[in-house]
Amino acid sequence: MRVLSTAEAQQALAAKRAAGKHGLVAMFSSYLGGVVTDPALMVVPLDDHGFHRGRAVFDTATLAGGSLYRLDIHVDRLFESCKLGWLEHPFTKDQIKEWVKGTAAASGLKNGNVRYWITAGPGGFSFQPKHCEEACFYCAVFQSQFVPEASGDVPTLKEISVPAAKVPLKPPALAQAKSNNYWLNVMTHLAAAQDGGVFGVGIRED
């Protein structure tokens, strides 16, 4: 097995993450302390507990006409998710909003999607958050995945009912907080896709 040099690894990343290929336009990382616009640099540390332990929460916003839609409400929900998940961090709501706005501005997009995360941060592969160096905030701005039809209408996305016997319903704790644990969400989508749908709606037998 080859051991890549730094230059070889950077070249491979640049080829895999070509600009525009995945729709990513800009990313802010509190760990790096700024915004990057090269998709090859839009990465998080492998030992970030948000990745290998799911110790992270996220939220979103819509960028429309150069404005961010309902950002205050979404940031409030982000902080509530942190509270529900006992995820401690040093960030303020005003700080988060400025980072989101700055990332959106750096993207140059007038219309797109914004997603952002607070994670426990990097610090080994233990399950214990006390090993984390610092909590991290990441924000990504990307092009919309749902392209309007020629008429301007958003395409219809078929919903399929998915019984709990096939995919278990989310427990209340995971349903109330927007955490990185989307395993059941993805399974519900896959079950819906088997029947020609896109979104799955979990239902109980009773």
Active site residues: 178
The full DSSP string for 149-204 is PTTSPPPP--EEEEETTTSPPPPHHHHHS-BS--HHHHHHHHHHHHTT-SEEEEE-
Sign of the C-alpha dihedral, residues 157, 151, 74, 25? positive
Would you say how long the chain is, in residues? Answer: 206
Looking at the DSSP assignment, which residues form a beta bridge with residue 137? Answer: 118
Residues ≥6 apart with Cβ < 8 Å to 10: 40
Is residue 122 helix, strand or coil? strand
